[in-house]
Chain A
Amino acid sequence: MRIGIDVGGTNTDAVLMEGRSVLAAVKTATTRDVTSGITTALAELKRQRAFDPVAVQAVMIGTTHFINALVEADRLAPTAAVRLGLPATASLPPMVDWPERLVRAISGRAYLCHGGHEFDGRHIAELREDEILRVAEDLDRHGIRSVAISSVFSPVNAEFEQRAAEILTARLPGLAVSLSAEVGRMGLLERENATIVNASLRELAGRIVDGLAGSLEGAGIRAPLYLSQNDGTLMDVDFARRYPVATFASGPTNSMRGAAFLSGLETCAVVDVGGTTSDIGVLRNGFPREATTEVSVAGIRTNFRMPDVLSLGIGGGSRVREGAEVTVGPDSVGYRLAEEALVFGGSTLTATDVAVAAGRAEIGDPGLVRGLDRSLVEAALRRIAGDIAEAIERVRTSPDPLPVVAVGGGSVLLPDELGDSGAVHRPRHFAVANAIGAAIAQIGGVVDRIFPVEPGQRRAVLDEAKQEAVDKAVAAGAKPGSVQVVEVDEVPLAYLPGNATRIRVKAVGDLQMEAGRD
């Protein structure tokens, strides 16, 4: 059996799962120290369904801790960026496009050194050991403990990043090093930004991972601990200590994957209706489609693998207005729903009131909305259904029929049938979808590089890329026979010789769990 835990800003949810069935599910409050919240959640699980801690084979945790630390510019370590690329790239040094506030929050320092590769693997310049050593002296002088290393075209060849890391750590043994080739894909500034953010979170990551491991140990659990990554796959604790940035989008990803799992659908749209917004995303083969464009996090442009989620200003607290036409949202009474909504004796007409008046839910006092104009109620609900259906249409990735899974407290706003999508699926346990998403996560491997594709060789090149992704997944801990390629994307690139094509392949497989414990 396995345990999935989701540590959100407000709630810590936990589930105990055996195979595909949910044995127990609890919701507790997140605590400032994280650890005691998890201890409480584990104790609650045990009360709901007694289990032998030693029989637990794996614990998967999803957390928004690291992205929150960045957004709040809090608990970030003094960080330096070392870029290998001179004589290229000098006009746009590291952090050139960052908000000043965040550069200050990490006491950011930038160094430009020789190195880097061309698109075809040639060296732009040789790495100079003396330059790197001078950087080490300066880091030491300024008390910087964490460094991000980026090198031009390191997704093609990461040798310079690795060599620079060796030189720096030989001179400064305690230095935490983050390599851009491990963090992001093509696009130097975006990849470097993500790496610098990662470096600034390294010390916090160490403390959090220790805390998580400690609370498991305290509960008598000896199983390995994994953290959820942005793309819905897992990383082990060693990787989590080094690459906390890979957890940034795990919240929405786990929620979508958990919802899909609960509904038994592998390919579907998930609509998560909250108090203020509805978040709509698409899963293909059980994994969220990733945004292809750059994603800004706290004002920093990055190319993280984030799920492509469309947010719509419709939620349980959305204001409903009459006029030439009835409108719903985008403004919401938010957390004051329990005071302002009509069903709670307030004076604001909200989406929740409309749902209650239509008999879709029993919230507050239904008697307070009995007198609402029927045509207004119907118009508002039609509006909600229409806007959501249109948003689903926008996130579709193919013309095939796409079933809809509705989750979240506001999902009562949705009708039972939605346009072309047919019946709306409303799975049980959806309140803990995040924790379930963590518990069912698999191990993945990704390849994203420019490949020369000679005429007639396309198939062979694709096969090579697929094999490499599969091998990476197995190396990361996937059960060899279970690994499948779930995504293949190829984009031919303009103005490059040899019919260069950017190929991205993702493979995932089941976590290789130690047998014989249960």
Chain B
Amino acid sequence: MTEGFIEERDLDDVAVGAAILGTGGGGDPHIGRLLAHAAVRAHGPVRMVGLDTLPDDAVTAMVAMMGAPTVMLEKLPSAEQAAHAVRALASYLGKTVTHLVCAEAGGVNALVPVVAAAELGLPLVDADAMGRAFPELQMVLPTMYGITATPMSIADEKGNRGIFDTTDNKWAERLARSATIDMGCSAMISLFSMSGAQARESLVPGTLSLCAELGRLVRQARAAHRDPVAAVVDRLGGAELFRGKVVDVGRRTEGGFARGEATLDGFDGHTGERFLLRFQNEHLVAVRDGAVVASVPDLICVLDVEAGTAITTETLRYGQRVRVIAAPCDPRWHRPEGIDLVGPRYFGYDHDPVRVAAGAMA
């Protein structure tokens, strides 16, 4: 990445890194990558601004895709749709948006803001609101700072736009989810508008360049026949939890979320061990021989044993040889109010969070 710009040649790295931070969810970044390529080719590189240099009076807005990743592979979203969402929010706020912000650095939503920034000619803040992927709209650090998701806008590809102004972020999630279904399960939203000062306080800095760096590390390690997974673990300050083969995957849908469990049989120093991954779109809990060894809010990523690329929960299948790594989340998620939002109990697992061991936490 050239100083301060995301160029076309960076996008593939960003997509690989975003898939890793997606912790198994967040949607395959492939379509986001293609959209970003098209947008950057048409409008030129996107200027990226460090969180620390954001002016206090900046007017920021997040932009993201909401809906079913599977639908997005069929009804391809457009750059204009993302721009529409931002314009709708700006017009309701009666302000000019000066900077775009990424809500979720994991999966497809890491690239949607790049598309919107290129389309609108706006700078993008090198940060995101969670430092990973989570399935619901209120699951962002700004919620803990009392920053409201709404006013938020929602736009479909037909030109329909809506505004929600809600009493809290959970209502925003609920109403936006219903509207998204009526919009064909694929909508663009713009939300969490905040000042530069608020953004500096509540966002996770440097996560877009982290995506690019992770992608580059994986690419370079492979080219040099070094271990890409070790490079990722090292960069994230995490730990490798397990190496094994997927021997069973059970899935079910509950309330619109794909829940399930994958069982792994160990090899390479883990022979004879059993590992269990519990997921709801994202990987949430990792269990080794009956004991929880990592859980949300920390990151649990499942990577291909050799390629080092991320495997999503939807593509997990029997026979895959994988390595499971865990990495520390932004430490603020471990505050009591963070655990209330995204801890194991919120997702229905009756235990306290288990943090990544290793010399991980800075």
Contact = CB atoms under 8 A, between A and B. Distances in A.
Interface stretch (A227-235, A429-437, A499-507): A499-507
Contacts of A394: 319, 321
Interface string A269-294: 00000000000000000000000110
A493 interface: yes
B357 interface: no
A88 B75 contact: yes
A124 B253 CA distance: 26
The B contact surface, by secondary structure, is mixed
Interface in A303-348: none
A218 B247 CA distance: 54
Contacts of A118: 75, 184-185
A160 interface: no
Nearest to A492: B253
Contact size range, B? 35 or more
B35 A92 contact: yes
Interface in A180-195: 186-189
B68 A119 contact: yes
Interface string A393-411: 1111111000000000000
A418 B96 CA distance: 69
DSSP class of A's interface residues: helix, strand, loop or mixed? Answer: loop
A397 B318 contact: yes
Contact of A493 (B35, B79, B258): B258
B75 A500 contact: no
Contacts of A299: none
Interface string B239-273: 00000010100011100111010000000000000
A116 B158 CA distance: 12
Contacts of B71: 119, 496
Contacts of A363: none
Interface residues of A, number: 44
Contact of A91 (B39, B73, B135, B319): B39
A152 B76 CA distance: 9
B75 A496 contact: no
A124 B183 CA distance: 10
Contacts of B252: 492
Nearest to B70: A493
B319 A92 contact: no
Contacts of A450: 70
A493 B68 CA distance: 8
B284 to A, nearest CB: 13
Contacts of A497: 181, 185, 256
A501 B253 contact: yes
B13 interface: no
Closest 10 pairs (CB-CB, A-B): A492-B253, A91-B78, A495-B68, A118-B184, A88-B157, A494-B258, A89-B76, A499-B253, A91-B79, A496-B68
